[in-house]
Every structure is written in structure tokens, then in C-alpha cells.
Amino acid sequence: ELYNKVLELRGNIRVFCRCRPLNAEELTTGASMTIDFESAKDGELTVMSNAAPRKSFKFDAIFSPQAEQADIFEDTAPFATSVLDGYNVCIFAYGQTGTGKTFTMEGTEVARGVNFRTLEKMFDIINERETVYRYDVYVSVLEVYNEQLRDLLVPGNHPGMAARRLEIRQDGEGMHHVPGLVEAHVNNMTEVWEVLQTGSNARAVSSTNANEHSSRSHCIHCVMVKGENLLNGECTRSKLWLVDLAGSERVAKTEVQGDRLKETQNINRSLSALGDVISALAIRSSHIPFRNSKLTHLLQDSLGGDSKTLMFVQISPNENDLSETICSLNFASRVM
Ligand code: ADP
Ligand code: MG
């Protein structure tokens, strides 16, 4: 009974923690591991270091550096079914730059991530349900940078250009949408892959320093699903949001000025706004501060209610990253 109560209070928010492996450079320089995976059982993970007291954190799932993309997806796949059953779903990757947010969401051509795998699973289910349901699937890819939205499916839509400004509007039914955003109708995984590549390339070529830009912007895939039950004509509409968040690392204000300072403040503001919204939803607060950032405003209809949220907290195993790791784990504990 107690267990049910905990689940109920926690609502529809799940938090998975994934730790990247030590990289080649760290292995050669002999970096030390600061996370104890030996005892990472029952969803509890312990941070150990001589510099700080041992501290444990609990999550719905913990993925050690040995976990593969397929292992991650095994626990993520049920969300694909939820979307086709008519639920809104948000999947976020949160963490310091370099901890594997993009690896988890986008992945690589040989180790595809959650974005591709979720859509693949959705199309498998769509084919299985073919005799009873008809589905239409649309994909948009956008970026939030400095609190401005940019459509990544519009060719030549570079950050410096006088691109058409995208705004969030509310329709007569109170639903939020972005007028003018490209919604690519996709019929199969070949078309999905093309759209994902177009978005990914737009992000990479549009800035002088692609890595830095991607660590300072949120990359968002929105999958809209229209379903029709062919037996009774009942229709469903749902959205899946796949969000590769900006890097959560704290930047000392004394180190940055001008544009860079504004950028940093915008990132801090939107990540803390996201934390505020999710934790307000978790405790069923009567006021949910959606309007404090573009990101939470955009996702407003898909957060809370009977929507489902999954947050990947990405961490580094390296002792040198300890303070950022603790910050990320604290952020994650707060939204659970
Ligand atoms: P972020 O998006 O958080 O800045 P990336 O996804 O770009 O981080 O990851 C940084 C580097 O680490 C990339 O080269 C990526 O391929 C590698 N990496 C991250 N996580 C893993 C993992 N679980 N297994 C193998 N390589 C990983
Ligand atoms: Mg990244």
C-alpha cells in the first residue's frame, strides 16, 4: 500500500541516470572513477570521493558505462506505445556538456539513439495495428537558442540570418502551437531518417563552432500523431517531445561578458524553469510556472495532466567532474 502511495505521488515522471564511460584521454591519464556501480542495485547509486562525503541517489533506472543503446531503449520503449495510445510524452536528456546527452538521444549511425529507436518502435506498432487504426505522423525539428525558436527543417535558416521569427501561440482551445513551423509528414523509417539527418545537419553547419553552439541550445524533436480507430471512428491526437537540453554546467559570471553572459543566463533560466515546472507537477502544486521560459511554454500541453515524462540524467564518471555530477544528481532528485 505504501508503495502505491509513493508511485501515485510521483505521478508520471520517471528519471533514468546514465553514466558515460571514461574516454580514451581519461584512460591514458588515469582518471579515477567517482561513481560506485558495484552497489548500484535497486536503483541506488553512490558517489564516492575523498573530496566529498559519500552520497547516494535513487532513480527509476541506473545505466552504468557498460550499458548499450539497446539496453537504454528496452526501458524507454513503453513510451512509444503510450504515444500511439494517445498520451503526450516528453523525453529529456539533462546534464553537463560531454556526458552523452546527444549520444543517448541522437546516437550515431551505428549506435542509434532514443529518437530513432522510438520512432522505429512507433512504426512497428502502427504496422501491427494497421487493421484497426490509421495513424498520421508528423515530425518537426527545432532549436531554442537564447530564448528564440529556430526551425531546423527550413534550409538556410542560420542563427545570424534574418530568419522568420517563430513564436508560440495559443489556439481557441487553449492548445499551444508554433505557426509556420515545418511539420514533415513521415510514412516510414526511410523518411524519418531523412528528416532526422536534415535537422542534425542544420544544427551542425549553421554555426562557426558546432560543438559549442549545440551545448548552448536545446534541440527539440516534436512528433505529432493523429490516430483514427477504424472500427468506431474515434480520433486521438498526441505529441512526443524528444529534447536534447543545453549543457547544465555552471559558468562563473566573472568569466563571461556581453553576448556570452546573456547566453549563460538564458540557459540557466530555462533549465531552472524546467526543474521548477517538473517539481511543481510532481508535488501537484496549484501553480505551475510554465511561462518562465520558451521551453516550458512550448511543452506546456505535454507536461502534467496524464502526460508522461522521462528524464535522462547524464553524468560523467570522472572524479574531476564531481561537482557538476553532484549538481546534476541533485537536480534530478528534485524533479522526482
Ligand atoms: P553531450 O551531448 O552531453 O555534450 P555527447 O553525446 O556529445 O555529450 O558525448 C560526448 C562524447 O562521448 C561523444 O564522443 C560520445 O560519442 C561519447 N559518449 C557519450 N556517452 C557514451 C556512451 N555511453 N558510450 C560510448 N560513448 C559515449
Ligand atoms: Mg550534445
Cβ of 215 below 6 Å from ligand 1: yes
Residue 189 CA from chain centroid, whole number: 21
For residue 250, pLDDT beyond 90 = no
Contacts 24+ apart (CB under 8 A), 272-277: 274/92, 274/245, 275/331, 275/334, 275/335, 277/303
SS3 2: helix
Rounded Cα distance between 313 and 300, Å, is 21
* More confident site: 283 or 181: 181
Domain ranges of the chain: 2-335
Ligand 1 atom closest to the Cα of residue 96 is: 3
Ligand 1 atom closest to the Cα of residue 99 is: 3
- How far apart are the CA of 215 and the centre of ligand 2, in A? 5
The pLDDT of residue 7 is 45
For residue 326, the one-letter residue type is I
Cβ neighbours for 304, distance < 8 A, ≥ 6 positions apart: 281, 288
Q: Which ligand is nearest to the CA of 98?
A: 1
Averaged confidence pLDDT in the chain:
89
Span 78-98, average pLDDT: 96
Residue 207 CA from chain centroid, whole number: 22
Cβ of 121 below 6 Å from ligand 1: no
- How far apart are the CA of 99 and the centre of ligand 1, in A? 6
The pLDDT of residue 259 is 81
Cβ of 101 below 6 Å from ligand 1: yes
* More confident site: 161 or 52: 52
Span 186-194, average pLDDT: 97
Cβ of 107 below 6 Å from ligand 1: no
Fold (topology level) of 2-335: Kinesin (3.40.850)
Cβ of 316 below 6 Å from ligand 1: no
pLDDT class for 263, splitting at 50, 70, 90? confident
Rounded Cα distance between 180 and 172, Å, is 17
pLDDT class for 58, splitting at 50, 70, 90? very high
CA proximity to 247, closest of 102, 95, 91, 92: 95
